[in-house]
Amino acid sequence: MESSTPKRKRLSYACNYCREKKTRCDEGQPSCRNCRVAGVQCITTDKRRAGAVVTSRRRPSPNTACNTVTTPVENAVNTPVSLTQPSPLPVAASQGLRPPAQFWDRSGWRSGRLPMMPRFIGGSMFEIMTEWLDLAFYRLRIPAPYPASLPSGSALPVSVSVPPSPPILPSGSEMRLLGQRFLQTVCCIFPFMTEGEIYQICDSNLTGSPSGQALAYLIAAAASMTEGGSQPEDYIAYCNTLLGHVVAERTLQSAQAIFLFAIVLRSSDHIAWAWDVLCLGVSIAQSIGINQATTAAQGSTWWCVYVFEKILAFESGRASMIWDRELSRSAQLDDDDDDPTAKYKWTCISLANTLHEMQDRAAGAWRREEWLPQSVDEAIEEKIHTGGELAMLLDYWWGGLPTEYRTGSAFSQQSAFLSFYYQYALILLNRSVLLIEASELREMTSRYAAGKPWQHRLANGAGVCVEAARDMIKLTVATVDSGLPTYLTALTSPLSAVYALAVHILRERRSLLARSDLELMKAAIGIIRQHYARLDDIQRVNEVLSALETYTADCLNGQVPESFGIYNYGALQR
């Protein structure tokens, strides 16, 4: 009997994520739909060929505007748990929902891995930043001096009431003053509306379209935030009820209203809510062709949306959803350019592209280690090279700025805005180094970065992070002391700098600059309290900041023993 032909095996070209979830993969390119929804990088490996990546049968995706996902990259520490056990995981570690794949779950803290740019789940920047502080105390083997946070992923939803009637706007003259302040602050950073458009909306007396009404309330809300007044919750709640009507308009003004709504929500520290609203605005802007920029108004609106979306994605750790062929190629900046508007525009775009590239390249290195069978040495070497290249990338961007933007002056809102996010990027890129033993870091850089232009930069990552934290606090303090109208202190706060500086003081309490760093911390904490005084999280913010300030001061006064140390995993072992 003749032997029958072997049955042909059906090869699966589903991506790794769809295989894991046992769902149907549409094999879209560059990412399948399931991966885009879940927020993970879409990678398909061939099980027959030791981890080779499959690209030959990937189908073109109908939505080419989606970028690859942004996920945390892990640092060179990738090792087993030490025999010396650290402090117990905080309460939130074992509870709550499973976070999206681009975030780093607390369950991974015991794995010995330390992401270079960890991304944590949270509905506000305070939650996201405090999660890193929890990680720092865990790795330093210190019980956190403040009460435990809510379980990861179980934060209470934002409470939004539906106003029975439209809230009352200020009178005509007061509304014009608010419009003027809005023009001087928000539109100085994001110039997406002209002076004539702003005053026309302020004088409309709510007789226009739903998007015009929403813009009137949002202009008043944003302007009142710069004055340090109470949180305009009524205005925000009413704009939320108008959102469906604004979406249905599908006009340039409706896209501007949604964009401004996202800015106001970010200023209220509702960063998850702001992201959801901004996603809606980007979708509308692209569907009605604003990204084609056939008019000056469309062009200014689109590049402002582009920049804000990249910054918000970087802050929240989410995957950017905008791809633009023209804006992704930042123009060469020239000090001799006589057009300040164009110069500022392309400076902001270059910042957005730099932040996105940092996040994207770091995510790629981390995902390759997760999905591909790299050796320990290969994984460590790639992560060190990625960190060094990202440090040089950020330095190159800063060195290429026009001279007037490198001053970081509190008297220039645009310069202060660019300087703040440069320092913020430095802190996020280098703060994990504060949680690694200096001897281990030197050993890794000497082994894998010898002769590279960024060898000493990586070895001094802790110093770079601390100096950036000091500069951020000094910039914020100078901005507040100037008394000039600004939107930077309403949009964000130096929370990342305070946490990084606190960890540095706990590690280097014998430093001659430790007490001056503590005074900088106290000044920044006062500004943060003022920023959150109008928000719902003020009680939790006060608890954490007061406990952190007291504990740091006690360390410097010798009231806390020096028995703790960094959780040492051994840098070169898995």
Under a CB-based contact definition with an 8 Å cutoff, are residues 25 and 35 in contact? no
Under a CB-based contact definition with an 8 Å cutoff, are residues 122 and 155 in contact? yes
H or E segment and range at residue 60: strand 59-60
Q: Measured at the alpha carbon of residue 129, what is the angle toward residues 489 and 268, in degrees to the nearest 5?
A: 40
* Residue 75: predicted pLDDT: 36
Phi and psi angles of residue 204, each rounded to the nearest 5 degrees, phi first: -75, -20
Question: What is the bridge-based pairing of β-strands 45-46 and 74-78?
Answer: unpaired
Q: How many CB atoms lie within 10 A of CB 137?
A: 22
Helices (H), 372-492: 376-399, 413-430, 438-448, 455-459, 461-482, 488-491
* Residue 298: predicted pLDDT: 94
pTM: 0.81
H helices, E strands: number in the chain: 21, 6
Q: What would the 3-class secondary structure string for 182-240 be?
A: HHHCHHHHCCCCCHHHHHHHHCCCCCCCHHHHHHHHHHHHHHHHHCCCCCCHHHHHHHH
Q: Which two tokens stand for residue 454?
A: 């960024």
Under a CB-based contact definition with an 8 Å cutoff, are residues 242 and 260 in contact? no
Question: What is the bridge-based pairing of β-strands 45-46 and 52-53?
Answer: antiparallel
pLDDT tens by residue, the chain, 574 residues: 445 555 544 446 788 888 887 788 887 776 787 777 676 778 887 655 544 455 444 444 444 333 333 333 333 333 222 323 344 444 443 333 334 445 556 665 666 677 777 777 788 999 999 999 999 998 888 888 988 775 544 445 566 666 678 899 998 899 999 999 999 999 999 999 999 999 999 988 777 799 999 999 999 999 999 887 667 889 999 999 999 999 999 999 999 999 999 999 999 999 999 999 999 999 999 999 999 988 999 999 999 999 999 999 999 988 899 988 889 876 665 555 678 889 999 999 999 999 999 988 887 777 777 777 777 777 778 888 999 999 999 999 999 999 889 877 778 999 999 999 999 999 999 998 999 888 888 888 999 988 899 899 999 999 999 999 999 999 999 999 998 889 999 999 999 999 999 999 999 998 999 999 999 999 999 999 999 988 878 899 999 999 999 999 999 988 877 655 565 544 433 3
Return the closest-CA partner of residue 28 out of 55, 58, 57, 53: 58
* Residue that has been written with the tokens 């794949």 in this structure: 101
* Residue 331: predicted pLDDT: 61
* Residue that has been written with the tokens 């604004």 in this structure: 246
Across-strand partners of 52? 46
* Residue 346: predicted pLDDT: 93
Under a CB-based contact definition with an 8 Å cutoff, are residues 494 and 473 in contact? yes
* Residue 74: predicted pLDDT: 36
- What is the C-alpha separation between 39 and 33, in angstroms, rounded? 10
Q: Which two tokens stand for residue 280?
A: 């809606």
* Residue 114: predicted pLDDT: 75
